[in-house]
Structure 1
Amino acid sequence: MEQQTKQNLRIIPLGGCEEVGRNMTVFEYKKDILILDMGLQFPEEDMPGIDYVIPNIEYLKGKERNIQGVIFSHGHLDHIGAAPILLKKLGNPFIIGRPLTIEMIKHRQEDFSKGSSKTLRTTYINNIQKKMHLGSFTASFFRIDHSIMDAVGTIIETPVATVIHPGDWMIEHKPTGRDEIEYTYLAKLKRPTILMLESLGSTNSKKSVTEEQMLNNLYNLITSAPGRIIITTFSSQILRIKEILDYASRIGKKVALDGFSMKLNMEIAKKLGYIKVEKDTIIPIGKIMNFPNNKIIVICTGAQGEEMSALSRIVSGDHRFIKIRKSDTIVFSSSVIPGNERTIQRLKDNIYRLSDHVLHSDIMDVHASGHSNIEDIKNIISQIKPDYFIPVYANHFMLKEAAKIAYNMGFPEDKVFVPDNGSIIQFNKKGAEILKEKVPTNYIFVDGLGVGDVGEIVLRDRQMLAKDGMFVIVAVVDKQTGKVKGSPDIISRGFVYLRESKELLQQTRKKVIETIEKSTTSGGIINWIYTKNKVRNTLGDFLFQKTQRRPMVLPVIIEV
């Protein structure tokens, strides 16, 4: 690949432009590199056994010393989740973020490797007006609204262009206790300006639920609940949890928090002074039986149906202190992350069997999204008035829809770039273009402690095992004559139930003996590798013909 030495600004998304998650963008000017975010992507249904997916940083190998810093826009896992792995691989570059974001990264780092947070080189954005000179880049920041505290937008100024990147964002209409954020001042930045806009809302034409509407609905449910009220939400919704805690304190109810990440995030927020809670409002989850049911609020994790989350354990009956009763009110104060639809539907089905009072966004406005809608996208583009527009941080179809919004607002087509992961968008004094070459962005799978050791072939094997099962043949062969001794043993897992498939097994054994003896009794030296492959292929075709399924066939030939 051509080296970046001229006065070009290159913008390279390593993830986040073909999926929801894995957000990471490289900015390169001459030899200097600045990175925005290092997120993970949760596994899809066709990724059995995978914990999560992280960006591929092959493009940055050999350029580690050129990295001037890594800016983190906010503390959601799709923006910080890969940091413990990637920061180490890149030689622990300088990291920049708001206090809550940096503290969340530190705790994630400790979870990954004890004591590793001490190696981090950090700069806190305590003042939003802060400007930082990072090699050829000048970074500054601006306020945005999102569903987590301390989210921040980033301005990256270079000699050839100025990048405006809100990260994940929304426009909070009629916010509680403050004015609505305006972005018109960003139109005065040094030109040309490039707006890189998270575009998850490009297909959403619904009117946004305001924070005030959502909180009023939650307050009414809390007040009128006939028994306990269990509210499940994202552990990062610290401000929402704080509002519920304040309201509970005012009306004399007790709150129990459940879920490791939720308790951890609340402790971090309290440590930073972001939250102050009345002493007796929060109680341990084990003490809820000491109070009347209608005086108890439980706020827990598990809104996405995560297997070991607090809500999943409550619903399955495995929770030590909570068994759902018909009088309990269950509230999903959360949205559905794309890819989790089936899991959440099953969770809701099970909850509806246990409780007569279940509320979610399809029924009542009990959640305010942290993302925009079509009108908000039009609004922010019209306020910032950028010279170039790059939709990012969403599936490809959403990026295309965001581009259409820009076109309909009068944007010239040559000023709008819809990138793929790995695209190189190059800016200089003459203009801008997407280069034909791309950088590697294939999935890097994390499975337990293994990073990248599960490749496409291993994943394909897992998919095959999950779909059609496994069929093992063990045959004993006389190495002198090439004849099969006795009857081959068959082990089947996830393919057919052996006791009910006697005819198929009999035919299979016959086919195995026939195939082995054809391959081994023709005279000369026996090629055992060829024989195994022949058995695998012949048996695979035979089983498909009989069952229309292709299990993984594993022949084991023992020479005696």
Structure 2
Amino acid sequence: MNQAPAPAPSPANPRAVPSREIRPSPRRYNRGGRPPGRGGMRPGSTARRIQRILRRPTSMPMHANRAADYYPEQPAENVVRIVPLGGVEEVGRNMVAVDVNGDIFVFDVGFHFKEEDDAPGADYSLPNTAYLEKNKERVRAVIITHGHLDHIGGIPFLMARFGNPPIYTRNLTSIMIQRRQEEYPDVPKPEINIVEPGQSITIAHTKMKFFPVTHSIPDSMGVSLTTPYGNVVLSGDLKLDHQDNIPSEREVTTWGELAKDKNLFFIADSTNAEREGFSIPEKRVQQTLDEIIKTVSSRLIIGTFASQFERMMSIIESAEKYGKKIVTEGRSIKNNIEIAERAGLLKIDKSTIIPAQDISNYPPDKLVLLCTGAQGEEFAALMRIATKQHKYIQFNERDTVVLSSSVIPGNEVSVQKLKDNLYRNKVTIIHYRSSDVHSTGHGNTGELVWINKQVNAKFFMPGYGYYSMTASHAKAVEQAGRPRESIIIADNGSVIDIIDGETLNVHKQKVPSTPLIVDGFNIGNRQEVVMRDRQSLAKDGMFVIIASVNLKTGKLRKSPDIISRGFIYLRESQNLLNEARILIKKTVEDSTHNMNPIDLDYVKNNLTDVMAGFLFARTNKAPMGVFGVVCSNAMHPRIVLSVGNFFFSIFSALVGFLHLQRRSLSSSSFLSARAWARRS
């Protein structure tokens, strides 16, 4: 029998045995059936492998085979469901959903300022509301416990996603929500209902009552929500008002009333659960500051958090009492003073607060400057004064500076820089380690254990904190006598069912909890590729190559252009650049040898492969590479596409790089940008 001739090798059949009469194609192929690259590997594979190994941040895992999102069915009538959507794996981004009687109630809608290391250029992260969006027809209300941004900051971004339900909160918090909404005029205004401590209301089929809690901002409250099997109690952020570790009469009365109820499930603040004993009461701090304001015979500068309403108002009232003028420096302090006056919490003479340009009209011992920036923020008022960048205020050696704040973890370096600059100005410094000038707004374990015993709920979930904080809280209450099986340490997205008021069931799967990112004008799930690119730019910089190829000969028309940003300093790296240009020329011309027509994509991929390996071998760094190959024949259709893609890549990379250099946009920046966008 005659055999058919052997088939010729081709990309579709790379293992075919060629006959002697068949010549290889002018466009050569290697053993893998691809144009010649590096050892049969797909062009670009080395670069991609280097990037996968070196650039992938541990905090941002890849999800190539992500499982389908989990959305549990509506719970049965005998089930009370708790779903923490944020705030139990971090401090901030607080949101908890309670599903009872066929209705869903949402507690707090906060945000979290993003660290640059985690998400470069992003402004905030928000709770993932996909679960609420799937069930938005059952969301009846949002209850806000107090006015700090980690509890109200997400309202302008998220409320419309799950149906804009009505908000229930206290007076000061409502004013702060409205003030924040003014910064987002295109967002629908929420319906806000004012409630008071001791008041009970019924929403849909569910009754709830509100009780006061002690925190660093007035009008803070907790909530007790009635279910057929007992109450679900949420504390919000809190501490105890106490004297020598003995709770005040108001605290005993408030928590004693809750103790009379049948409480099923308790969620409590864990922020300071890693600290033993009792926190310093705010009254002691106010007394210390009052004494300092009274006795200091020079100009006094106090740096504090603008969110510390109680302390800020106490400082202003003390200054007025001793006949001193107040100068407020910092946008957030000015705003919060205005809000406190609008809420009727601060009543002072209009002449007490003066502008900074008028300080020369008063003797130094009659001036108290209230400033933001105690955490060493670069552009805050205190740092600008310390670095002699303030227009009206300069330090002198007779000044006294009070840092009425502790050091937030992660801010140690910036606070140290602030202290160094203050000492260079030879001022006297009083801080929380030398005097009782700061107290936290969150209770220590002694307070948390006392509160837990008062509520005496059947089940307990520590909330509002990182895992180490919630675990410490759980350990403390267990050591105080609570059964271990009654404690649940949840993650964001956990689905916790209480069946018949007796059995605790935690679903194996979680609802979507990946944070939403506010990034400029965009709000959405974390875009891992974008964030990885920004991290790569921040770590190793960018290396751009522009190679102009003669379409007919495949040769370089001129020496390639090279741009470097954040990678190497070109003037001091001439040897590296010369080697790079030689390698680029050789790679391009080898890639185009016997190629007709020239495949620009193949040339670019091969160039990417070779240059990524070269740069890493020479510098031990993996910069983001942007490689453009353009041809001299302007009429070739692929040229237009390549040039367009190239400049688009350059633009995208530069925008991302510049994004790294900015700080989070202020609200005014958002407004001006939005207005510019509308005009354009």
Query: Is 2:449 the partner of 1:346?
Result: no
Query: Is 2:443 the partner of 1:367?
Result: no
Q: Separation in 2 of the partners of 1:44 and 1:320? A: 30
Conservation of the 8 A alpha-carbon contact between 1:399 and 1:418: yes
Query: SS in structure 1 opposite 2:490?
Result: coil
Cα offset, 1:345, TM superposition: 2.5
**Paired residues for 1:185-264 under 5 Å:** 185-191=257-263, 193-205=264-276, 207-264=278-335
Letter of the structure 2 residue corresponding to residue 326 of structure 1 = E
Q: Separation in 1 of the partners of 2:318 and 2:455? A: 37
Match of 2:148 in 1: 76
Q: Separation in 1 of the partners of 2:604 and 2:126? A: 37
Query: Is 2:107 the partner of 1:36?
Result: yes
Cα offset, 1:448, TM superposition: 2.6
Match of 1:50 in 2: 122
Q: Separation in 2 of the partners of 1:89 and 1:233? A: 35
CA-atom RMSD in angstroms: 2.1
Query: Is 2:251 the partner of 1:181?
Result: yes
Query: Is 2:485 the partner of 1:417?
Result: no
| Higher Cα Rg, which structure | 2
Query: SS in structure 2 opposite 1:305?
Result: coil
Letter of the structure 1 residue corresponding to residue 506 of structure 2 = I
Cα offset, 1:309, TM superposition: 2.6
Match of 2:202 in 1: 133
Q: Separation in 1 of the partners of 2:539 and 2:279? A: 41
Q: Separation in 1 of the partners of 2:594 and 2:105? A: 66
Q: Residue deviations 1:323-368, cap 9 Å, x none? A: 1222221111123333333322322222222242122212221011
Cα offset, 1:178, TM superposition: 7.2
- Cα 1:306–1:86 change in 2 (3 A) is farther
Match of 1:122 in 2: 192
Query: Is 2:461 the partner of 1:395?
Result: no
Match of 1:333 in 2: 404
Q: Residue deviations 1:358-394, cap 9 Å, x none? A: 2221222101110111111111112221211101110
- Tell me which of 584, 608, 616 is aligned to 1:544: 616
Letter of the structure 2 residue corresponding to residue 194 of structure 1 = F
More deviation, 195-204/154-163: 154-163
Match of 1:4 in 2: 74
Unaligned runs of 5+ in 2: 1-70, 633-680
More deviation, 253-262/222-231: 222-231
Conservation of the 8 A alpha-carbon contact between 1:200 and 1:371: yes
Q: Separation in 1 of the partners of 2:426 and 2:172? A: 36
Letter of the structure 2 residue corresponding to residue 546 of structure 1 = R
Letter of the structure 2 residue corresponding to residue 322 of structure 1 = I
Query: Is 2:139 the partner of 1:67?
Result: yes
- Cα 1:476–1:166 change in 2 (3 A) is same
Q: Separation in 2 of the partners of 1:403 and 1:206? A: 15
Letter of the structure 1 residue corresponding to residue 582 of structure 2 = K
Q: Separation in 2 of the partners of 1:432 and 1:246? A: 50
- Cα 1:52–1:23 change in 2 (3 A) is same
Match of 1:304 in 2: 375
Match of 1:23 in 2: 94
- Cα 1:384–1:281 change in 2 (3 A) is same
Q: Separation in 1 of the partners of 2:149 and 2:599? A: 52
Cα offset, 1:226, TM superposition: 4.2
Q: Separation in 1 of the partners of 2:134 and 2:346? A: 43
Q: Separation in 2 of the partners of 1:465 and 1:61? A: 35
More deviation, 243-252/464-473: 243-252
Match of 1:95 in 2: 167
- Cα 1:391–1:107 change in 2 (3 A) is same
Match of 1:315 in 2: 386
More deviation, 455-464/213-222: 213-222
Conservation of the 8 A alpha-carbon contact between 2:75 and 2:81: no
Conservation of the 8 A alpha-carbon contact between 2:85 and 2:492: yes
Conservation of the 8 A alpha-carbon contact between 1:446 and 1:454: no
Query: SS in structure 2 opposite 1:486?
Result: coil
Match of 2:647 in 1: none
- Cα 1:36–1:512 change in 2 (3 A) is same
Cα offset, 1:129, TM superposition: 1.7
Q: Separation in 2 of the partners of 1:2 and 1:475? A: 55
Query: SS in structure 2 opposite 1:61?
Result: helix
More deviation, 171-180/302-311: 171-180
Q: Separation in 2 of the partners of 1:301 and 1:112? A: 24
Query: Is 2:213 the partner of 1:144?
Result: yes
Cα offset, 1:312, TM superposition: 3.1
Letter of the structure 2 residue corresponding to residue 162 of structure 1 = N
Query: SS in structure 2 opposite 1:381?
Result: helix
Match of 1:156 in 2: 225
- Cα 1:538–1:453 change in 2 (3 A) is farther
Query: SS in structure 2 opposite 1:139?
Result: strand
Cα offset, 1:499, TM superposition: 0.8
- Cα 1:453–1:486 change in 2 (3 A) is farther
Cα offset, 1:439, TM superposition: 1.2
Letter of the structure 2 residue corresponding to residue 90 of structure 1 = F
Conservation of the 8 A alpha-carbon contact between 1:161 and 1:427: no
Cα offset, 1:18, TM superposition: 1.1
Q: Residue deviations 1:429-483, cap 9 Å, x none? A: 0411211111111122212322228622111111111111111011011223322
Q: Residue deviations 1:284-330, cap 9 Å, x none? A: 22211110111100112222333433223323333222112222211
Q: Separation in 1 of the partners of 2:592 and 2:341? A: 74
- Tell me which of 476, 493, 505 is aligned to 1:433: 505
Conservation of the 8 A alpha-carbon contact between 2:242 and 2:248: no
Conservation of the 8 A alpha-carbon contact between 1:329 and 1:355: no
Match of 1:289 in 2: 360
- Cα 1:375–1:88 change in 2 (3 A) is same
Conservation of the 8 A alpha-carbon contact between 2:515 and 2:526: no
Letter of the structure 1 residue corresponding to residue 276 of structure 2 = S
Q: Separation in 2 of the partners of 1:536 and 1:405? A: 56
Letter of the structure 2 residue corresponding to residue 411 of structure 1 = R
Query: SS in structure 2 opposite 1:112?
Result: coil
- Cα 1:179–1:19 change in 2 (3 A) is same
- Cα 1:130–1:492 change in 2 (3 A) is same
Cα offset, 1:522, TM superposition: 4.4
Conservation of the 8 A alpha-carbon contact between 1:391 and 1:403: yes
Query: SS in structure 1 opposite 2:617?
Result: helix
Query: Is 2:332 the partner of 1:265?
Result: no
Q: Separation in 2 of the partners of 1:139 and 1:482? A: 77
Q: Separation in 1 of the partners of 2:101 and 2:583? A: 65
Query: SS in structure 1 opposite 2:89?
Result: coil
Q: Separation in 1 of the partners of 2:101 and 2:414? A: 47
More deviation, 13-22/305-314: 305-314
Q: Residue deviations 1:492-515, cap 9 Å, x none? A: 111111111111111111222232
Conservation of the 8 A alpha-carbon contact between 1:333 and 1:361: yes
Conservation of the 8 A alpha-carbon contact between 2:372 and 2:382: yes
Q: Separation in 2 of the partners of 1:78 and 1:311? A: 24
Q: How many residue pairs end up in the alignment?
A: 556
- Cα 1:276–1:284 change in 2 (3 A) is same
Conservation of the 8 A alpha-carbon contact between 1:14 and 1:23: yes
Conservation of the 8 A alpha-carbon contact between 1:160 and 1:428: no
Q: Separation in 2 of the partners of 1:261 and 1:94? A: 27
- Cα 1:528–1:30 change in 2 (3 A) is farther
Match of 1:171 in 2: 240
- Cα 1:528–1:137 change in 2 (3 A) is farther
Query: SS in structure 2 opposite 1:379?
Result: helix
Q: Separation in 1 of the partners of 2:261 and 2:583? A: 75
Q: Residue deviations 1:20-61, cap 9 Å, x none? A: 111111112354211011111111131222221111111222
